[in-house]
Chains A and B, each alone.
Chain A
Amino acid sequence: EVQLLESGGGLVQPGGSLKLTCAASGFTFSSYGMRWVRQAPGKGLEWLSVITGNGATTYYADSVKGRFTISRDNSKKTLYLQMNSLRAGDTAVYYCVKGGGGWKDAFDYWGQGTLVTVSS
């Protein structure tokens, strides 16, 4: 059974940093691109970032480019999101998402999400 378990969310002050972690199980982690998607309270879904299975290629949404860094450790089956220079607008539930084997595949599994609150 595929499981994605996010952790690391919490309350952080504006300008601060936070690192999210997603522990994956139930599939060959290194074979799949992984994404982060977020959802602000009461709002829709926002695609944030993707990393290829071998970690060599990453892409970011303009809203987080230069502030967030996606990475992975295939030996630990773990996905990360390092978030720096956080703003109030980054307050959201952050989901770890697995794609299918192809670059254009749909997102077939989602974690339960971890809440990040940016506030003084």
Chain B
Amino acid sequence: EIVLTQSPDFQSVTPKEKVTITCRASQSIGSNLHWYQQKAGQSPKLLIQYASQSLSGVPSRFSGSGSGTDFTLTISSLEAEDAATYYCHQSSSLRGTFGGGTKVEIK
């Protein structure tokens, strides 16, 4: 099983600050890494696919980078509505796996 390790587990951030979340895979997964946002009481929502591909309707302040084993989700300027838990997900193996999540709180 491919294990995804996210860091940090929790981050308290001031609005307009930059947020960086990392996801490390236990083996190379190419670019088969996706990011989701889950707000309290809601289902997860796809933010970034294939490590860095933006999606229609997702604010441009969200971006992704990386390949192989190390990946990053960046929120360039945090807004209050970005309070959520963020998960990475690998689809390289037949049995997908998720990272443990990073909770972002607004100070």
Residues of A bordering B, CB below 8 Å: 35, 37, 44-47, 50, 59-62, 95, 100, 103-108, 110-113
Q: Which residue from A35, A62, A100, A112 sits with its C-beta under 8 Å from B43?
A: A112
Residues of B close to A60: CB separation below 8 A:
95
Cα distance, A54 to B54, chains bound together (Å): 29
Residues of B bordering A, CB below 8 Å: 1, 32, 34, 36, 38, 43-46, 49-50, 87, 89, 91-92, 94-101
Q: Are A108 and B46 in contact (CB under 8 A)?
A: yes
Q: Which residue from B34, B45, B98 sits with its C-beta under 8 Å from A44?
A: B98
Q: Are A110 and B45 in contact (CB under 8 A)?
A: yes
- B interface: dominant SS: loop
Q: Which residue from B34, B97, B100 sits with its C-beta under 8 Å from A107?
A: B34
Q: Are B43 and A113 in contact (CB under 8 A)?
A: yes
Supposing A104-B32, A107-B34 touch, asked if A46 and B98 sit within 8 A by C-beta, the answer is yes
Chain B residue nearest to A110 in the complex (CB): B43
Q: Are A47 and B97 in contact (CB under 8 A)?
A: yes
Min CB distance B78 to A, Å, is 22
Q: Which residue from A46, A59, A105 sits with its C-beta under 8 Å from B91?
A: A105
Q: Are B87 and A44 in contact (CB under 8 A)?
A: yes
Q: Are B101 and A61 in contact (CB under 8 A)?
A: no
Q: Are B89 and A44 in contact (CB under 8 A)?
A: no
Cα distance, A7 to B69, chains bound together (Å): 37
Supposing A44-B99, A45-B101, A47-B96 touch, asked if A110 and B91 sit within 8 A by C-beta, the answer is no
Min CB distance A105 to B, Å, is 7
Q: Are B99 and A105 in contact (CB under 8 A)?
A: no
Residues of B close to A108: CB separation below 8 A:
46
Cα distance, A35 to B38, chains bound together (Å): 18
Q: Are A106 and B43 in contact (CB under 8 A)?
A: no
Residues of B close to A100: CB separation below 8 A:
49
Supposing A45-B44, A110-B45 touch, asked if A104 and B92 sit within 8 A by C-beta, the answer is yes
Q: Which residue from B1, B38, B46 sits with its C-beta under 8 Å from A106?
A: B46
Q: Are A59 and B94 in contact (CB under 8 A)?
A: yes
Min CB distance A23 to B, Å, is 15
Residues of A close to B89: CB separation below 8 A:
45, 47, 106-107
